[in-house]
Amino acid sequence: MILRNRLKQSPDGDFIDCVHISNQPAFDHPFLKNHTIQMRPAYHPEGLYDESKVASQQQTQIIPQLWHQNGKCPENTIPIRRTKKEDVLRASSVRRYGKKRHRSSQLTLFALSPMDQHAIAYVEGDKYYGAKATINVWQPKIEQANEFSLSQLWILGGSFGQDLNSIEAGWQVSPDLYGDNNTRLFTYWTSDAYQATGCYNLLCSGFIQINNQIAMGASIFPISNYGGSQYDINILVWKDPKEGNWWLQFGNNYVLGYWPSFLFSYLADSASMIEWGGEVVNSEPDGGHTTTQMGSGHFPEEGFGKASYFRNIQVVDSSNNLKPPKGVGSFTEQSNCYDVQNGNNGDWGTYFYYGGPGKNPNCP
């Protein structure tokens, strides 16, 4: 059995390895040694699971990832972005590679520390079994290599203390993690507030991928232009009511895989909070502010084609149905740096514009 098939370098500089599905990093986890891979969810939020939604059996809409130009991964393999030595050397330690920085300061409702800046919409106060969003895709500028800018949804359980459970998916620009400024599809998970558990993408055991067409951490293409063409991606995360695993879907056709429920404590049952929006890291010393952009780098009031958006945001209820969120709140630490504006209409459902330039005359 061939466990690894190496494709040529893709135009964005990545190397993609086609790894046999049973040889992926997830199975380094001690609880997954004898795990039987679930090749499809039992249920989908739109009803009984439809086999045609599994991308490996879907020949229609192709979402381009640049590595496809050099070939595809065969059946029973998954594409994994190859980790290079220089990727690991950029991390503070080998052990911390692929992990969000944990900070000793007490977690607040939204932020790990003052270094984290958000512009988000959120719901809380109910039991949630998933979330969906259509996310406008941009390539925000990053000031320093140890900063990042991301746009994602968060599935959260537990308190914002040391036991926070989180499942996250969206797009990010992170020079520290990837070695470039490309906009990339990503996931993250943790069951202990970003301390010891979890990681980005497939950089540790946990997430089990079943899809052979979409690579975690690969570049998203094309991206939106200010005043020009606009592009967005669909992200759906939901809890399969039969098996209890948390599934990830990208676009309308690509069911990528799942996080086994045993990885979590609170999320083994349900989520208590959903967040959608942007986050940046501000590493400027002495209270100064970074020029790292969030979203398009422009404020929400500029509107479509100029400001970044999330549209058709939804939650999955206890009956496994997608529903508009009720009682949506918004939050930003410094609205003069990054802001958020909620809205609702017939075409976009519940939506919001968000983002900003970071440092500016009103955000010194």
Q: Which residues are catalytic?
A: 168, 279
Q: Which of 246, 244, 245, 224 is nearest to 236 (CA)?
A: 246
The answer to whether 236 and 132 have CB atoms below 8 angstroms apart is yes
Q: Token digits for 308?
A: 């970044």
Residue 207 near residue 189 (C-beta atoms within 8 A): yes
In this structure, are residues 218 and 203 in contact, taking their beta carbons and an 8 Å threshold? no
Answer for the pair 249, 53: CB distance below 8 angstroms, yes or no.
Answer: yes
Q: Is the dihedral of CA 42, 44, 45, 46 positive or negative?
A: negative
Q: Tell me the two tokens of residue 133.
A: 């969003």
Which is it for strands 165-173 and 184-190: parallel, antiparallel or unpaired? antiparallel
Q: What residues are paired with 77 via a beta bridge? A: 20
Omega into 222 within 30° of 0, i.e. cis? yes
Contact 69, 10 (CB under 8 A): yes
Neighbours of 179 (CB within 10 A): 15
- CA dist., res. 50 & res. 293, Å (int): 39
The DSSP output letter for 51 is G
The pair of three-digit structure tokens given for residue 320, joined into one six-digit string: 């496994």
Q: Which residue has the tokens 């209890």?
A: 244
Q: Which two tokens stand for residue 299?
A: 């404020």
Look up residue 71 and give its two tokens: 């070939």
Contact 210, 78 (CB under 8 A): yes
